Amino acid sequence: MSYVVDASVVVKLFIVEDYSDKATEIINAHAKGYISLSAPTLIVYELGNVFWKHPRITYEKAYRFIEKFLDLDINLVDVHSNAELLKTACKISESRGLTFYDASYIAIAERDKVKLITADEELHNKAQDFTLLLKDVKGI
């Protein structure tokens, strides 16, 4: 089984928040080869921004966290390098009132005919047909 995963889920591996246990379960399933995860390359920048804003995360720790994320071998997709994905992301952004960032995740999920796992309830509410809310994920 394959999924797209967004920064709202991945950040929970490094910053303990609600549903960090579920996020860890999903990432562990990926690491063991039970599922396959993908994300747009922009996830690296989103994670970096979250770490930068966190009052207890130094730049050294942010760097280590990003390195650990990259070691997970999540399939990173360049939306901007694929004309169809880029067009789809723009269309989704406009039609659903989503940021281009969020639309990029949805575009990959749509292309791959999989669900995006997110902890972002606002995103889920705008794209329920393409998303699974992290708190509702069971048995991955």
Which pLDDT tens digit goes with each residue over 84-118? 999 999 999 999 999 999 999 999 999 999 999 99
Q: Is residue 8, in this structure, part of any structural domain at all? A: yes
Count CA within 13 A, CB hemisphere, residue 50: 20
36: domain CATH number?
3.40.50.1010
Q: Give the pLDDT of residue 140.
A: 80
Token digits of residue 58:
């130094």
Q: Is residue 75, in this structure, part of any structural domain at all? A: yes
User: Any idea which residue has 């992290």 for tokens?
Assistant: 134
- Total domains, the chain: 1
Strand order in the sheet with 2-5: 75-77, 36-40, 2-5, 115-118, 131-133
Inter-residue contact 29 to 35 (CB < 8 Å):
yes
* Mean predicted lDDT score pLDDT of the chain: 96
Q: Is residue 140, in this structure, part of any structural domain at all? A: no
Residues sharing a CB contact under 8 Å with residue 128, sequence separation 6 or more, in sequence order: none
Residue 137 has pLDDT above 90, yes or no: yes
Dihedrals phi, psi of 135, to nearest 5 degrees = -65, -20
Tens of pLDDT, residue by residue over 61-90, are 999 999 999 999 999 999 999 999 999 999
Domain that holds residue 9: 2-135
In angstroms, what CA-CA distances link 3 with 28, 33, 48, 51, 98?
Answer: 13, 13, 22, 24, 20
Q: Give the pLDDT of residue 126.
A: 96
Tens of pLDDT, residue by residue over 22-71, are 999 999 999 999 999 999 999 999 999 999 999 999 999 999 999 999 99
In angstroms, what CA-CA distances link 60 with 11, 41, 81?
Answer: 16, 21, 30
Helix pair angle (100-112, 83-96), 10° resolution: 120
